[in-house]
Amino acid sequence: MPSLDDEHFPSTPGKVKGERAHAMNRQFHRCFASTTTMFLWALFLIALTASYLSFQSFVDTGSRYLTASWGGIQWEKQVRTSAEIRRSGGFSVLVTGGAGFVGTHVSLALKKRGDGVVGLDNFNNYYDPSLKRARKTLLNNHGIFVVEGDINDARLLAKLFDVVAFTHVMHLAAQAGVRYAMENPHSYVHSNIAGLVALLEACKSANPQPAVVWASSSSVYGLNEKVPFSEADRTDQPASLYAATKKAGEEITHTYNHIYGLSITGLRFFTVYGPWGRPDMAYFSFTRNILQGKPITVYRGKNRVDLARDFTYIDDIVKGCLGSLDTAGKSTGSGGKKRGPAPYRIFNLGNTSPVTVPTLVGILERHLKMKAKKNIVDMPGNGDVPFTHANISLARMEFGYKPTTDLQTGLKKFVRWYLNYYGYNHGQSKLVN
């Protein structure tokens, strides 16, 4: 049986040898030529990719400089002027989340008493950014400059500390909202973990180091059932990713206090509400829906028990924030080196009188003079906790914290603001959320 080779090659042995060698030579050349071509092509493609990437980074860098909303002599002047202290013994405070709900109120209160204030806000679209812009205008009208930028931008933070020797940082920038964490978990890690670390890095390196007061949350109590919630209670059972990032923040700030001597105060806010509030919160979205004649969803706990919150009015929270700043105590480090122990404190800032969600709806109905269309549904497993209730004795002892506004009074002020801000067209033209 002829082999395959015999079929392909002539039968004369000598010739076969020469022909075969020639053929193999040709094969080799062809092969070599095609390898070289492939190699050249590969080189060409690598060069093309590299030049594309460097072009992209050139475009990015270029556009960063073209579109950067910070930097320059005029910008620095605005920052410096805004940070000017106008009372003896006053502070210069960097307020992160400056165009946020609590940030706006705290900034105004600080400015009013003569402290210097610079806001920092990234104006993200978690909720209607036009509300944040309106708050910014309000702040500008009171001589407060709000820098547009992200707490994750280390260069911006370094620049701010370069321009102003901030005595305090009121850190309120965060991804808020308990239930949204299921939709966009990474935004919580980005702002509440990475952003917090970026901020603490800047604070620890600053010379002098500022004292840091920052917003933790009542949600850290998670599945804790002991009431009222005291600072020493368990906080190792968070019910939502949001709560977990706030709890992580308490641990992270502790390490910066321990290693670098940063003065740290964490404030556990309890469901803060009021004028200029957050449209994603229940009292706000209920008001909008009631005015628009749309239904509202009222969650109900296990065994048909109503959910309850220790709703806390914004003016009381502001007093708590200022009291915390006033008693913060100094950071001890400088240039990233600890010089001695610094204070590390955590306080509840609540109202101490929980109110059920249906009662909240009833109060809104009375203030709005309209009936709500209620859909009552069992609380979905979305990170919510059935109730919150603050023990505030620690804050009372430390800086005389004493909330004075009940929900009825506070919601009346909120509704007045809401109607004034959105008008009687039920907010349809202004609200996005």
Ligand X SMILES: O=C(O)[C@H]1O[C@H](OP(=O)(O)OP(=O)(O)OC[C@H]2O[C@@H](n3ccc(=O)[nH]c3=O)[C@H](O)[C@@H]2O)[C@H](O)[C@@H](O)[C@@H]1O
Which residues would be at the binding site for ligand X (CB under 6 A)?
176-178, 217-219, 269-271, 281-282, 297-299, 307, 309, 357, 384, 388
Please name the residue that has the structure tokens 């940070």.
Answer: 83
SS3 (DSSP) at 281? coil
Of 195 and 333, nearer to ligand X (C-beta) is: 195
Phi, psi (5° rounding) for residue 347?
-130, 145
**Least Å from the CB of residue 270 to ligand X:** 5
Among 229, 94, 243, smallest CA distance to 173 is for: 94
Of 201 and 280, nearer to ligand X (C-beta) is: 280
Of 145 and 284, nearer to ligand X (C-beta) is: 284
Q: Which of 180, 221, 242, 422 is catalytic?
A: 242
**Least Å from the CB of residue 359 to ligand X:** 11
Of 147 and 174, nearer to ligand X (C-beta) is: 174
**Least Å from the CB of residue 75 to ligand X:** 31
**Least Å from the CB of residue 277 to ligand X:** 9
Where helices occur in 263-369 by DSSP H, the ranges are 282-292, 314-326, 357-368
- Which amino acid is located at 430 in the chain? K
For the question of residue 313 being annotated catalytic, the response is: no
**Least Å from the CB of residue 299 to ligand X:** 4
**How far is 44 from 181, CA to CA, in rounded Å?**
46
**How far is 133 from 401, CA to CA, in rounded Å?**
31
Burial letters 91-107, b for 16+ CB under 10 A, else e: bbbbbbbbbbbbbbbbb
Of 155 and 294, nearer to ligand X (C-beta) is: 294
- Do residues 251 and 79 make contact, with C-beta atoms less than 8 angstroms apart? no
Among 159, 208, 153, smallest CA distance to 335 is for: 208
**How far is 224 from 278, CA to CA, in rounded Å?**
26
**Max CA separation in the chain (angstroms):** 113
Of 161 and 418, nearer to ligand X (C-beta) is: 418
**How far is 298 from 295, CA to CA, in rounded Å?**
10
**Least Å from the CB of residue 399 to ligand X:** 20
**How far is 227 from 8, CA to CA, in rounded Å?**
93
Please list the active-site residues: 242
